[in-house]
Amino acid sequence: MRKYVASLSLIVIALVMSASARAETIEEFYRGKTITSVVPFGPGGGYGIYNQIMARHLGRFIPGNPTIVAQYMPGAGGITANNYMFNLAKRDGLVMAMVSDSVALASVIDADKIRYKVNDFIWLGAIERVNNVIAVRSDSGVKTLEDLREKSIVLGGSGPGSPTSLLPSLMRWLQPYNMKVVEGYEGINPMFIAMDRNEIAGMTVSWTIFKTLRKAWFESGFAIPIVQFGSRKEKDLPNVPLAIDIAQTPEQKAVARFLASNVDVGRSFIFPPGVPQDRVEALRAAFDKMVEDPEFREEITKAGFDLSPATGKEVQAAVAQATNLDDRMIKIIQTAIGSAK
């Protein structure tokens, strides 16, 4: 009898060990869990709104249906959040982030400030890819870029790694445009308020965010777009010049093309390096399903945003292409933007 009991015990132990050794399925891992989504700017701005909409929908397409909550981490124009994701965030598939569209630009231009390798991030997908635009108050006396050869204006900025700082620096390097950036605003909402109060004359934001959150500015003539950044013009800004078209020399054109590459990154989401591949594949598949989902698309449209999604692999390839620069080109870019800051 004792031998029978002992044998039975060994069988039970073996079964328990076998069950514990079995690989946990994606559904089992995510069921009842919470995914933290890090946002590189403060709440209320475009990144915060995109993230809120994503959080209401993405969990429906992840096996196990986890909850998604935001963690706002503003600082240095997105560099603070990027550094956190690369160095401190858990690599278990329960921490994701929405990165600034300038994440690849900052990795080259502000190499002394970054603590991440942009090509080592795992890209889950992009919701939208759209041009950034500098817009100014119409009572600033500036109607076109050419006015900035004679007049001087102050723009708002959220930090050195943000398009709000990098893109005006490009313009100052291309031509002697008199624009100064005052940094320290934690996202676009404080900049919107500062522009309303005439504390700053303008700011750099994606055209979609301008149209969505401050449409009345442009309908009333309060604000005027004076330049856009991308490889092609936005369809409703046919008369607003592209920065790349202002470039004259081959070096200027190369730098302008690099700065325009942030459009291909767009409003993207990442995992830190080292997340298990099966969880990466599950989140990428869920993201691709979400951007095609009628409920998600309806909410995005009602919020006033455009939808121009890209898969994680597409964004990963765009980042790799943008940062595939030789030492000479990196030096030119760093010197050009650094000298104009």
Question: Which of 221, 237, 262 delimits the end of a domain?
Answer: 262
Are 43 and 136 in the same domain? Answer: no
pLDDT score, position 22:
58
Residue with tokens 């200027």: 252
Cα separation, 287 vs 52, whole angstroms: 14
Contacts of 195 (CB under 8 A, 6+ apart): 137, 156, 201, 202, 203, 223
Are 177 and 97 in the same domain? Answer: no
Are 298 and 313 in the same domain? Answer: yes
For residue 38, is it within any domain?
A: yes
pLDDT score, position 30:
98
User: pLDDT 10s per residue in the chain (341 long)?
Assistant: 555 444 545 444 444 444 444 589 999 999 999 999 999 998 988 899 999 999 999 999 999 999 999 999 999 889 999 999 999 999 999 999 999 999 999 999 988 899 999 999 999 999 999 999 999 999 999 999 999 999 999 999 998 889 999 999 999 999 999 999 999 998 899 999 999 999 999 999 999 999 999 999 999 999 999 999 998 999 999 999 999 999 999 999 999 999 999 899 999 999 999 999 999 999 999 999 999 999 999 999 998 888 999 999 999 999 999 999 999 999 999 988 887 77
Question: Which of 262, 280, 312 delimits the end of a domain?
Answer: 262
Q: Is the pTM here over 0.85, yes or no? A: no
Angle between helices 327-340 and 163-174 (to 10 degrees): 90
Question: Which of 262, 290, 310 delimits the end of a domain?
Answer: 262
pLDDT score, position 186:
85
| Amino acid type, 304 | G
pLDDT score, position 206:
94
Q: In which domain, by residue range, is 174 found? A: 132-262
Cα separation, 64 vs 217, whole angstroms: 44
Are 37 and 109 in the same domain? Answer: yes
E-assigned strands of 239-338? 268-271, 310-311
As a whole number, the mean pLDDT across the chain is 91
DSSP 8-state code for residue 337:
H
pLDDT score, position 15:
40
Helices (H) and strands (E) counted in the chain, each on its own, are 16, 11
For residue 159, is it within any domain?
A: yes
CATH code of the domain covering residue 144: 3.40.190.10
Are 142 and 216 in the same domain? Answer: yes
For residue 6, is it within any domain?
A: no
Q: What angle do CA 248, 254, 260 make, to 5 degrees?
A: 105
Are 136 and 247 in the same domain? Answer: yes
